[in-house]
A and B are shown apart, each in its own frame.
Chain A
C-alpha cells in the first residue's frame, strides 16, 4: 500500500478524535443530544476504519513499519513529533478505536439526560486521542505526552459528576497515585536519555545490547515498571482503580478496563528489548503481576457493588498481562489485552445496563432475577462470563491459557507463578459466578418502585457486538492457527519471545486450566444458586470487603502524614523560621540604629572631628599607597 496513504490514515486516526474534542468543547452544548454523541462516535469509528485499512499490509504479511514524522519538536533532544506504525501499534490502535467507538455508541443512550452531555463526549474523544498518541508514539517523549494526557482525561472523566464529593475525591486520587508512578517513569526517561542520548525507540532498542550494562538496564526497567504499575493499577499503586468507579460506567468500561490501564502492559511490551537485558526486572514484573492477580481476585470476592467486583477483576486480569510480558511472552500478553478489552468492556457495559435499568442501584444484594427482565444484557454478559473464566471456545480461554502455558514453559521458579495463575483462574470463575448469580438469577430482591427493563438498542447493539467478539475473538491466535503471533512477529524482531510448549504438554496444561475454571464455575453455582447464598458476615468477609485495609493504611500514612507535615511547615517553619528571619532583620536594623544613634550628638564640633578623622584616614591611605 502506498506509504503516503498510510501516513494519512494513521495521522487521521489521531486527528479525527482530536478534532472531535475541539469541536465538542466549543459547540458541544449547541449540538446537544444526541448529535454530540454521534459526532464523537463517528470520529472514533472513522479512526478505526482508517487504521483497519492501513493495517491490511500487515495482515498480508507484506507490510513494513512506517515512521510518520509530523514536525520537529525538540531539536535539543533530537526529538520529533513522530508516529510509529508497526504491527504492535496497529493492534493497539484497532483495539482502542474499535472498542472505543462501541463504547461511544453505548454512551449516547447511557448519558441521556445528563446536563453536560456534550462535555462528556468531548472528554471521551480527548481520551481516544491521547491513548492513540500513546500507542502510536515513535519515541519516549511523544509516548510520555500521550501518557500524561490519558491521565488527564481519566481525571476529567472520573470526576465528571464532580458535584458528588466522592467523585471529585476519586479523580484526585487517581491523578495523584498515577503521579507517583510517573515519577518512576520520568526518572527512567532521564536515565534512557543519559545512556543513549536519544528518546527514539529505534535508536534506543538498536543500541541497547551494546550500550547498557545489566545494572543500568535493570535500573531503567524497574523504573519503567513503577510507571507501568501506576497506570495499570498493579501492586502497590492499584488503590485508585476501585475508587475510579465513581465515574460514569462507560468511562469505567473504556478507560479502566479496555484501554488506559493497558498502557502499562503496552509499555513493557514495547520496551521488551530493554527487559530482555534485565532478567531480574522481568522476573519482578511477572511476580508483581501474579501477586496482584491473586490479591485482587480475593478482594473481588468480597465486594457487594457490581462495579467494584469488576474493578478488582480488571486489576486481577491486568496482573495476568503483566505476568505474560514479564515472562517475555509478549504476544500472549497483547493477546489477552485484546480479549480482555472485549469481555471486560462488555461486562462493564452490561453492568451499566443493569444499573441503568435499576435506576442507579449498584448493590448486588438488591438485584436478582434480572435475566427475565433483561434477556439481551443477560445473554451477552453470560458470554463475557464464560470468556473471562477461560472456558473454551470463548476468547478468554485462548489468551489466558497461552499466558499460563508460556509461563510454564519457562520452568524453574516460574512454575510457582504458573500455579498462582492457575489458582487465580479458579478464583476468577468463582467470584464472577457469584456476581452473575447475585445479579441475574434467583428471585428478585429489588427495592420498591424499581421496574427494570431492557436497555434501548443504542446500548444493546454494542453489547451484542462485544459479545460476538468475546466469543470469536480468541480464534485469531489458537495453537492451530497462530494468526496474531505472525501478525506481531515483525514488531518484536530482536526480542526473544517465549512461546507456549507444543504437543502433549500443551494439551495437559489446557486441560488443567479448563478443569480449574469448571471447578470455579461449579463451586459458584453450588454456593449461590438455589437461594442458599451465605450471609457473607464475619471477620474474613469484612477483611475482603475492606480490601485488607490498604486504603486506610495509605490514608493514615500519606494523607495524614502529609497533613501533619504541611501543618508543621506552615506553623513552625514558615511562621517561626521564615517570618522570624524577616522580622529579625527588622529588629536587627533597629538595634544597630539604636547603637549608632549616639553618634548624632548635635554638636557641630563633634561633626567637625568626624570629618577630620575621615580626612586623616584618607590621607594615611594615600600616603601608604605612595600616591605622592
Chain B
C-alpha cells in the first residue's frame, strides 16, 4: 500500500521533472527538473531495497553531478533562454515518430512473464553496504579496479583539457 502511494507520487514527480528538463527554455530550470527526477529515483531505490545506492544517488548524482552542471551553466553564461525555432525541419516529426515507436517497442518487450510473474528463488535482496561490498570485492573485483582506473583517467583528461586551453591562450 505504501509502496503504491510512493510509486504514484514519485513516479509523477519523476516524469514531471523529465518533461521540465526537456521543455524549459532556461537551462537552470532544466537542471532543477533533472534534480527532481533524480530524487524521485532515489526514493524508488529505497523502495526496492537499494538503500546504499539510494544514498549514493543522492550524494553523487543529485549532489555532485548536478551541482557541477549548474556551475558550468553559470560559468558559460547560457542561463539566458534560448531560441525556440527548429532549423532542421525533419527533426520534430521524426523524433515524435521514433520515440513513439521506441517506447512502444520497449513496453512491448517489457510484457515479460518474468517481470510480472513470481520472483525467482533465493533470498530477498537486501541492498545494505555489507551486501554490496561483498559482491563488489568478490565477484566484481575486476570491474571495480577498472572503473577506478577510469576515474583517474577522466580526472587527468579533464585537467588536460582545461590546462591546454589556458596554455594556448597565454601563448
Indicate whether A and B are direct neighbours in the complex (CB within 8 Å).
Answer: yes
Chain A residues with CB under 8 Å of chain B are: 601, 603, 605-606, 609, 612-613, 615-616, 619-620, 622-623, 628
Contact of A616 among B88, B91, B105, B112 (CB under 8 A): B105
Q: How far is the CA of A602 from the CA of B105 in the complex (A)?
A: 29
Q: How far is the CA of A182 from the CA of B94 in the complex (A)?
A: 73
Contact of A615 among B88, B91, B102 (CB under 8 A): B102
**Residue on B with the closest CB to A627?**
B109
Q: A605-B91, A609-B95, A616-B98 are in contact. Are A623 and B105 (CB under 8 A)?
A: yes
Q: How far is the CA of A628 from the CA of B115 in the complex (A)?
A: 11
Q: Which 10 A-B pairs have the closest CB atoms?
A: A619-B105, A612-B98, A616-B101, A628-B109, A616-B102, A623-B109, A623-B108, A609-B94, A616-B98, A628-B112
Instruction: Determine whether B76 belongs to the interface, using a CB cutoff of 8 Å to chain A.
Output: no
Q: CB-CB < 8 A to A606: which residues of B? A: 88, 91
Minimum Cβ distance to chain B for residue A457 (Å) = 103
Minimum Cβ distance to chain A for residue B107 (Å) = 10
A-B contact pairs, 23 of them (CB 8 A): A605-B88, A606-B88, A606-B91, A609-B91, A609-B94, A609-B95, A609-B98, A612-B98, A612-B102, A616-B98, A616-B102, A616-B105, A619-B102, A619-B105, A619-B106, A619-B109, A620-B105, A622-B109, A623-B105, A623-B108, A623-B109, A628-B109, A628-B112
Bits for B81-124, please: 1 = Cβ < 8 Å to A, else 0.
Answer: 00000001001001100110110011011001000000000000
Minimum Cβ distance to chain B for residue A517 (Å) = 105
Q: Tell me the dominant secondary structure on chain B's binding face.
A: helix
Minimum Cβ distance to chain A for residue B104 (Å) = 9
Q: CB-CB < 8 A to B109: which residues of A? A: 619, 622-623, 628
The residue in A603, A613, A616, A623 that gathers the most chain B C-beta atoms within 10 A of its C-beta is A616
Q: How far is the CA of A94 from the CA of B78 in the complex (A)?
A: 112
Q: CB-CB < 8 A to A616: which residues of B? A: 98, 101-102, 105
Minimum Cβ distance to chain A for residue B95 (Å) = 7
Q: How far is the CA of A601 from the CA of B106 in the complex (A)?
A: 29
Q: CB-CB < 8 A to B99: which residues of A? A: 612
Minimum Cβ distance to chain A for residue B40 (Å) = 25
Q: CB-CB < 8 A to B95: which residues of A? A: 609
A-B contact count (CB 8 A): 31
Contact of A603 among B88, B94, B101, B108 (CB under 8 A): B88
Q: How far is the CA of A623 from the CA of B108 in the complex (A)?
A: 8
Q: CB-CB < 8 A to B101: which residues of A? A: 616, 620
Q: CB-CB < 8 A to A628: which residues of B? A: 109, 112
Q: A603-B88, A605-B88, A606-B88 are in contact. Are A613 and B98 (CB under 8 A)?
A: yes
Q: CB-CB < 8 A to B102: which residues of A? A: 612, 615-616, 619
- Chain B interface extent, by class: 10 to 19
The residue in A603, A609, A622 that gathers the most chain B C-beta atoms within 10 A of its C-beta is A609
Q: How far is the CA of A319 from the CA of B78 in the complex (A)?
A: 109
Q: CB-CB < 8 A to A613: which residues of B? A: 98
Q: How far is the CA of A615 from the CA of B98 in the complex (A)?
A: 10
Q: How far is the CA of A603 from the CA of B91 in the complex (A)?
A: 11
Q: How far is the CA of A601 from the CA of B108 in the complex (A)?
A: 33
**Apart from A616-B101, A622-B109, A628-B109: 12 A-B pairs, beta carbons within 8 A:** A605-B88, A606-B91, A612-B99, A613-B98, A615-B102, A616-B102, A619-B102, A619-B106, A619-B109, A620-B101, A623-B108, A628-B112
**Residue on B with the closest CB to A611?**
B98
Q: How far is the CA of A612 from the CA of B95 in the complex (A)?
A: 9
Q: CB-CB < 8 A to B106: which residues of A? A: 619
Q: How far is the CA of A619 from the CA of B100 in the complex (A)?
A: 13
Q: CB-CB < 8 A to B112: which residues of A? A: 628
Q: How far is the CA of A609 from the CA of B99 in the complex (A)?
A: 10
Q: How far is the CA of A613 from the CA of B98 in the complex (A)?
A: 7
Q: How far is the CA of A466 from the CA of B94 in the complex (A)?
A: 104
Q: CB-CB < 8 A to A601: which residues of B? A: 88
**Residue on A with the closest CB to B87?**
A603
Q: CB-CB < 8 A to B108: which residues of A? A: 623
Q: CB-CB < 8 A to A623: which residues of B? A: 105, 108-109
Q: How far is the CA of A149 from the CA of B64 in the complex (A)?
A: 94
Q: How far is the CA of A624 from the CA of B102 in the complex (A)?
A: 14
Q: CB-CB < 8 A to A620: which residues of B? A: 101, 105
**Residue on A with the closest CB to B110?**
A628
**Residue on B with the closest CB to A612?**
B98
Q: How far is the CA of A601 from the CA of B88 in the complex (A)?
A: 10
Minimum Cβ distance to chain A for residue B136 (Å) = 29
Q: CB-CB < 8 A to A612: which residues of B? A: 98-99, 102
**Residue on A with the closest CB to B112?**
A628
Q: How far is the CA of A620 from the CA of B88 in the complex (A)?
A: 26
Q: How far is the CA of A613 from the CA of B90 in the complex (A)?
A: 14
Minimum Cβ distance to chain A for residue B87 (Å) = 9
Q: How far is the CA of A622 from the CA of B102 in the complex (A)?
A: 13
Q: How far is the CA of A623 from the CA of B95 in the complex (A)?
A: 21
Q: How far is the CA of A385 from the CA of B155 in the complex (A)?
A: 113
Q: How far is the CA of A619 from the CA of B109 in the complex (A)?
A: 8
**Residue on A with the closest CB to B99?**
A612
Q: How far is the CA of A613 from the CA of B95 in the complex (A)?
A: 9
Q: CB-CB < 8 A to B88: which residues of A? A: 601, 603, 605-606
Minimum Cβ distance to chain B for residue A568 (Å) = 53
Minimum Cβ distance to chain B for residue A123 (Å) = 80
**Residue on B with the closest CB to A622?**
B109
Minimum Cβ distance to chain A for residue B26 (Å) = 20
Q: How far is the CA of A612 from the CA of B19 in the complex (A)?
A: 19
Q: How far is the CA of A495 from the CA of B94 in the complex (A)?
A: 92
Minimum Cβ distance to chain B for residue A399 (Å) = 100
**Residue on A with the closest CB to B98?**
A612
Minimum Cβ distance to chain A for residue B85 (Å) = 14
Q: CB-CB < 8 A to A619: which residues of B? A: 102, 105-106, 109
**Residue on A with the closest CB to B114?**
A628
Q: How far is the CA of A601 from the CA of B99 in the complex (A)?
A: 21
Q: How far is the CA of A606 from the CA of B95 in the complex (A)?
A: 10
Q: Which of B45-101 contact A (CB under 8 A)?
A: 88, 91, 94-95, 98-99, 101
**Residue on A with the closest CB to B86?**
A605
Minimum Cβ distance to chain B for residue A314 (Å) = 90
Q: CB-CB < 8 A to A622: which residues of B? A: 109
Q: How far is the CA of A613 from the CA of B94 in the complex (A)?
A: 9
Q: How far is the CA of A609 from the CA of B88 in the complex (A)?
A: 12
Q: How far is the CA of A605 from the CA of B109 in the complex (A)?
A: 26
Q: How far is the CA of A612 from the CA of B102 in the complex (A)?
A: 8
Minimum Cβ distance to chain B for residue A625 (Å) = 11
Q: CB-CB < 8 A to B105: which residues of A? A: 616, 619-620, 623
Minimum Cβ distance to chain B for residue A112 (Å) = 93
The residue in B91, B98, B112 that gathers the most chain A C-beta atoms within 10 A of its C-beta is B98
